[in-house]
């Protein structure tokens, strides 16, 4: 029950009790009024009957005084007082009006009848006196019969007064009793009203207001300190306190939900910060290995609980090759064809075990699996070109862990963009460091690698040989057949060099018709053997231009080896000097560098 209802009921009960108490007080006052009226009526009747008795005695006394003295004055007084005395009916009417009862009036009527009889006898006695019959007059007024009648009249009046006294006392006692009853009732009602008021105050302000408010105040203070672990009290009563408790409960639930949302937002901010940091690191990567290392480090933190692999597309074989993985994925191999993945076929994310039924990819290893694993394949696409695939699989049972698809989509887009930038950087670097005509590394590439190669040879104390090649009479070919023919010769020589060299050999187009070959780890004898092989291969080329042979093409080769011929720092200049000596000695030959005299003495 609401406090307003309780208060209204208490107010109504208090008002009702107050009205009842007022009514009892009015009734008590009315009873006292009845008592006062009874006393006043008694006083009025006492005066009326007292005058009646006095009239009876006074008329008797006047008549007797006249008889005893013969003084006419008493006769005059008697006549005057007799005239003033009311008639019987008039007296009864006035006494009845004063409040006498019929029984009392009957007694009084009897007394008045005797009083009127006495007056008749007094009149007769006065008349006898006037006639001179004094004995007769005295016999009438002083006789025994007159005394008896006088006593009877006085007795009836006294009896009337006695009845009147009894009735008045009864009425006064009854009025007093009723007045006391109503007064007691009024006091009792006032006491009940005061008690009810105190009970309402105690119940409402202490039990239903003060105590719950104190508890709710403690809860509110803890909630204000964001201590949402506090449990607000439960009040089943439908009142304002219950409404406050419900409002505090709702506020607590909202606070818990807000904390949860803040935690989710904080986690999202952290994930976005990790994603942004990962994107920055990937943009700074200049090799695929560096990019893979960044992905392996950041992805498990951005999407925890999901194992995965990073695949990169090999355009030559049209296969996906794994470059890295995290959390040991179980259901996808390290390499597979692009046709084995539905995500690559469709160019869209593919999840075969999601909320809807779909076809599992062929690259999934489902042997021994009780159910279809929850996996997700995200194609890495940039500039409408497929670059690779990022694969995820959940570590928990289906439905217990949801893929954060928004982050995964951003991951795939950022990784795809990083791969695209890496590929573009590699292509630009290749274009900047590769000779477009022969496909060999250009002089700029050579100048970048030369310090590193020389430093490595000195650090490892290993041999390093340079072969400097120059096409013989190349200007004659250009002048005789045109520059297109010269380009054909250059391409043919470059192809021959690529075919003849091993993996550890680096070949550069050093100048117009000059080529340079690095032979790490080869001493002068091995370098001479390789140089002769190259000269023979190039000399055996059959180069056609517009269907006509250009004739034999020969090369002159200068060879220099460190530390056999010179220090590492002078290796290029020494090989160039050997090349000029080969040209001076007739071309189409290999000439090894000769140590200088001071270097021979030092050796």
- Per DSSP, the residues of 532-545 read HHHHHHHHT---EE
Within 10 angstroms of residue 312's Cβ, the number of other Cβ atoms is 20
Residue 94 — very low, low, confident or very high, per pLDDT cuts 50/70/90?
Answer: low
Cis bond before residue 563 (omega within 30° of 0): yes
- pLDDT tens-place string over residues 511-523: 889 999 999 999 9
* Interatomic CA distance for residues 223 and 249, integer angstroms: 10
Residue 499 — very low, low, confident or very high, per pLDDT cuts 50/70/90?
Answer: confident
pLDDT at 466 over 90: yes
Within 10 angstroms of residue 301's Cβ, the number of other Cβ atoms is 14
What pLDDT, on the 0 to 100 scale, is given for residue 122?
Answer: 75
Residue with tokens 């496909």: 439
Task: Compute, in degrees rounded to 10, the torsion defined by CA atoms 113, 117, 120, 126.
Answer: -130
Least confident window among 48-52, 62-66, 187-191? 48-52
Nearest alpha carbon to residue 341 among 391, 406, 398, 407: 391
- Taking CA atoms, 565 is separated from 132, 447, 568, 574, 587, in Å, by 212, 21, 9, 8, 21
Average pLDDT over residues 331-342: 90
Contact 171, 73 (CB under 8 A): no
Structure tokens at 525: 């004898």
Contact 353, 373 (CB under 8 A): yes
* Interatomic CA distance for residues 149 and 114, integer angstroms: 6
pLDDT at 558 over 90: yes
Structure tokens at 337: 């064809």
Contacts of 91 (CB under 8 A, 6+ apart): 48, 52, 112
Least confident window among 142-156, 227-241, 258-272, 545-559? 227-241
Contact 204, 7 (CB under 8 A): yes
pLDDT at 149 over 60: yes
What pLDDT, on the 0 to 100 scale, is given for residue 554?
Answer: 92
Residue 271 — very low, low, confident or very high, per pLDDT cuts 50/70/90?
Answer: confident
The one catalytic residue in 35, 149, 322, 513 is 513
Rounded mean pLDDT of the chain? 81
Higher per-residue confidence, 445 vs 399: 445
Least confident window among 41-50, 354-363, 461-470, 533-542? 41-50
Strands 555-562 and 590-592: parallel
Within 10 angstroms of residue 211's Cβ, the number of other Cβ atoms is 13
pLDDT at 138 over 90: no
Residue 129 — very low, low, confident or very high, per pLDDT cuts 50/70/90?
Answer: confident
Nearest alpha carbon to residue 580 among 602, 557, 562: 557
pLDDT at 238 over 60: no
* Interatomic CA distance for residues 176 and 38, integer angstroms: 11
pLDDT at 273 over 70: yes
* Interatomic CA distance for residues 601 and 153, integer angstroms: 193
pLDDT at 602 over 80: no
Would you call 132 exposed, middle or buried from its count of C-beta atoms within 10 A (0-12, 13-18, 19+)?
Answer: exposed
Structure tokens at 5: 């209802």
pLDDT at 280 over 50: yes
Within 10 angstroms of residue 144's Cβ, the number of other Cβ atoms is 8
What pLDDT, on the 0 to 100 scale, is given for residue 465?
Answer: 94
Within 10 angstroms of residue 114's Cβ, the number of other Cβ atoms is 21
Structure tokens at 536: 């023979």
Residue 229 — very low, low, confident or very high, per pLDDT cuts 50/70/90?
Answer: confident
Structure tokens at 62: 């006047």
DSSP 417-441: HHHHHHHHHHHHHHHHHB-TTT-SB
Three-state secondary-structure class, residue 328: coil
Average pLDDT over residues 545-569: 89
For the ranges 104-118, 166-180, 430-444, 554-568, the maximum mean pLDDT occurs at 554-568
User: Is 174 one of the annotated active-site residues of the chain?
Assistant: no
Q: Read off φ and ψ for residue 284, nearest 5 degrees.
A: -90, -5
Sign of the Cα torsion 134, 135, 139, 140 reads: negative
The end-to-end CA distance of the chain, in Å, is 115
What pLDDT, on the 0 to 100 scale, is given for residue 601?
Answer: 41
What residues form DSSP beta bridges with 324?
310
- Taking CA atoms, 125 is separated from 57, 131, 138, 377, in Å, by 16, 10, 7, 155
Nearest alpha carbon to residue 501 among 469, 477, 471: 469
What pLDDT, on the 0 to 100 scale, is given for residue 11?
Answer: 66
Contact 376, 403 (CB under 8 A): yes
Residue with tokens 């002159």: 556
């Amino acid at each position: 029950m609401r406090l307003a209802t309780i208060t209204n009921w208490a107010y109504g009960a208090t008002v009702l009790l107050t009205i009842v108490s007022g009514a009892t007080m009015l009734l008590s006052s009315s009873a006292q009024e009845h008592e006062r009226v009874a006393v006043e009526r008694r006083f009025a009747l006492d005066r009326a009957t007292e005058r009646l008795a006095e009239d009876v005695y006074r008329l008797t006394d006047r008549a007797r005084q006249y008889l005893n003295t013969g003084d006419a004055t008493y006769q005059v007084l008697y006549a005057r007082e007799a005239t003033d005395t009311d008639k019987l009916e008039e007296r009864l009417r006035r006494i009845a009006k004063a409040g006498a009862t019929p029984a009392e009036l009957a007694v009084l009527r009897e007394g008045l009848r005797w009083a009127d009889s006495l007056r008749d006898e007094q009149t007769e006695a006065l008349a006898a006196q006037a006639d001179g019959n004094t004995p007769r007059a005295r016999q009438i007024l002083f006789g025994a019969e007159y005394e008896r009648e006088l006593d009877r009249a006085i007795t009836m009046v006294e009896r009337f007064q006695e009845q009147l006294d009894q009735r008045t006392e009864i009425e006064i006692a009854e009025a007093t009793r009723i007045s006391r009853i109503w007064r007691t009732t009024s006091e009792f009602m006032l006491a009940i009203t005061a008690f009810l008021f105190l009970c309402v105050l105690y119940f409402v302000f202490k039990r239903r207001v003060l105590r719950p408010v104190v508890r709710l105040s403690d809860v509110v203070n803890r909630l204000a300190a964001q201590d949402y672990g506090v449990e607000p009290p439960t009040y089943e009563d439908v009142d304002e306190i219950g409404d406050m408790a419900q409002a505090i409960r709702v506020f607590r639930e909202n606070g818990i939900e807000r904390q949860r949302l803040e935690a989710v937002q904080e986690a999202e901010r952290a994930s976005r910060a990790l994603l942004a940091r990962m994107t920055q690191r990937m943009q700074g990567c200049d090799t695929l290995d560096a990019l893979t290392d960044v992905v392996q480090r950041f992805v498990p933190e951005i999407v925890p609980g999901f194992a995965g692999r990073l695949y990169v597309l090999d355009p030559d074989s049209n296969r996906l090759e794994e470059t890295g993985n995290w959390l040991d994925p179980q259901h996808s191999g390290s390499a597979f064809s692009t046709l084995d993945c539905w995500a690559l076929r469709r160019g869209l994310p593919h999840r075969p075990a999601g909320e809807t039924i779909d076809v599992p990819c062929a690259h999934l290893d489902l042997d021994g699996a009780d159910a279809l694993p929850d996996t997700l394949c995200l194609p890495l696409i940039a500039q409408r070109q497929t670059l690779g695939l990022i694969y995820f699989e959940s570590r928990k049972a289906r439905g217990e862990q949801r893929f954060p698809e928004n982050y995964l989509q951003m991951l795939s887009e950022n990784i795809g963009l990083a791969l695209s930038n890496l590929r573009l950087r590699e292509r630009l670097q290749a274009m900047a460091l590769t000779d477009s005509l022969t496909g060999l590394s250009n002089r700029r590439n050579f100048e970048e690698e030369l310090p590193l190669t020389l430093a490595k040879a000195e650090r490892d104390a290993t041999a390093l040989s340079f072969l400097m090649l120059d096409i013989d009479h190349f200007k004659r070919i250009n002048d005789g057949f045109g520059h297109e023919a010269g380009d054909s010769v250059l391409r043919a020589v470059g192809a021959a060099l690529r075919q003849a060299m091993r993996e550890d050999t680096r070949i550069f187009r050093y100048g117009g018709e000059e080529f340079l070959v690095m032979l790490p780890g080869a001493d002068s004898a091995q370098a001479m053997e390789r140089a002769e092989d190259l000269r023979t291969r190039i000399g055996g080329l059959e180069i056609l231009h517009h269907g006509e042979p250009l004739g034999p093409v020969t090369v002159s080769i200068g060879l220099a080896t460190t530390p056999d011929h010179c220090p590492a720092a002078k290796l290029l200049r020494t090989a160039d000097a050997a090349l000029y000596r080969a040209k001076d000695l007739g071309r189409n030959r290999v000439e090894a560098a000769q140590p200088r005299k001071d270097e021979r003495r030092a050796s």
